[in-house]
């Protein structure tokens, strides 16, 4: 019996690609280049499974392509707002994702950005590399305290809770959070965490605001100019969620005008394009979507996709089925 045909949109860790080759008739993206909508349509027409990443866009016009052979999108990532889920469901196209395995690596990046922004790490690195450092003095590059400060988390799922643990137990930070319903008591008791009744309330009390909500139309520009104006002038905004949760133009204005002290970003609207306004600001730390970018995590994500594909082709229950 012939092996199922599988198309992988971007390069994966070598050990996972080797397993794919052993199990399936697989086509890999050897050049690791971004693919076009027409290439995605062709893949849907010619393969039994397509494995996109969170930066590959599968809107309705791609999913609704004629003469579709593909029956499953094995998404490499936990987020799936780049896939039109309603269109996939209407077409009978199964979608799976990779939850759980990237919790700690993404929380680590959120803490990294918090520390970089608070302590002006990226700015200091640039100063030293440019040979502009004139030596130590008591008032040089004064920054913000982290230990004992208040961390506000918008969204309180696995990644937010992992960050809260690192911040509270590692840095003695006070934890406040917003989610529509209260978190489990055993979680909040461990963190001595307080639930805010609204995002607006959280923004007014937090020294650091970290975003952990899903992307999509419901949260698009959730953090806009009005929300930024509620934050303390000394506060920092951290985004490892999705780029479109933040109104980039509004954030740039807030940073330019020192309306807030700083920001740390790992995700962007329309990435890999980054708003030019960020590039000239010293009070924003920028990373290229590194949240899950450890070898161990990316390998585990690939293994999750493999498990979902294996279940699908065996006719079994998928461990991580979205639709």
Which residue numbers are catalytic?
A: 242, 271, 289
Pairing of strands 236-239, 262-265: parallel
Two tokens, residue 41: 């349509």
Residue found under tokens 């070598």? 14
Residues 6+ apart with CB under 8 A from 179: 155, 156, 195
Q: How far apart are CA 86 and CA 58, in angstroms?
A: 11
- CA 119 – CA 96 distance, rounded (Å): 39
Contact 148, 172 (CB under 8 A): yes
Separation between Cα atoms, residue 320 and residue 49, nearest integer Å: 15
Exposed, middle or buried by CB within 10 Å (0-12, 13-18, 19+), for 96? buried
Q: How far is CA 30 from the centre of its chain?
A: 25
With contact defined as beta carbons under 8 Å apart, do 144 and 89 qualify? no
Q: What proportions of the chain, in percent to the nearest 5, are helix, strand and coil?
A: 40, 15, 45
Strand order through the sheet with 194-195: 194-195, 174-178, 150-154, 208-211, 236-239, 262-265, 284-286
Measured distance CA(4)–CA(25) in Å, rounded: 6
């Amino acid at each position: 019996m012939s092996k199922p045909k599988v198309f992988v949109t971007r390069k994966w860790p070598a050990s996972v690609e080797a397993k794919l080759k052993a199990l399936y008739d697989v086509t890999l993206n050897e050049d690791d280049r971004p693919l076009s909508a027409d290439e995605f349509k062709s893949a849907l027409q010619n393969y039994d499974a397509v494995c996109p990443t969170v930066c590959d866009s599968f809107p309705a016009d791609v999913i609704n392509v004629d003469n579709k052979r593909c029956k499953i999108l094995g998404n490499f990532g936990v987020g799936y707002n780049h896939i039109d889920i309603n269109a996939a469901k209407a077409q009978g196209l199964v979608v799976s994702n990779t939850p759980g395995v990237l919790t700690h690596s993404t929380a680590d990046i959120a803490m990294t950005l918090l520390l970089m922004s608070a302590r002006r790490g990226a700015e200091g690195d640039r100063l030293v590399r440019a040979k502009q450092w004139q030596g130590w003095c008591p008032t040089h590059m004064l920054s913000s305290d982290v230990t004992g400060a208040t961390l506000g988390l918008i969204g309180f799922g696995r990644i937010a809770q992992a960050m809260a643990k690192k911040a509270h137990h590692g840095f003695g930070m006070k934890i406040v959070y917003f989610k529509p319903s209260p978190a489990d008591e055993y979680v909040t008791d461990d963190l001595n965490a307080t639930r805010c009744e609204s995002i607006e309330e959280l923004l007014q009390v937090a020294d650091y605001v970290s975003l952990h909500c899903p992307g999509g139309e419901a949260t698009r520009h959730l953090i806009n100019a009005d929300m930024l104006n509620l934050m303390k002038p000394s506060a920092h905004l951290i985004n490892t969620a999705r780029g479109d949760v933040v109104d980039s133009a509004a954030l740039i204005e807030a940073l330019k005008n020192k309306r807030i002290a700083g920001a740390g970003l790992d995700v962007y609207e329309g990435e890999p394009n980054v708003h030019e306004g960020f590039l000239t600001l010293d009070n924003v730390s920028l990373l290229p979507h590194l949240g899950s970018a450890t070898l161990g995590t990316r390998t585990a994500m690939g293994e999750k996709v493999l498990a979902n594909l294996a279940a699908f082709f065996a006719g079994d229950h998928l461990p991580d089925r979205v639709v």
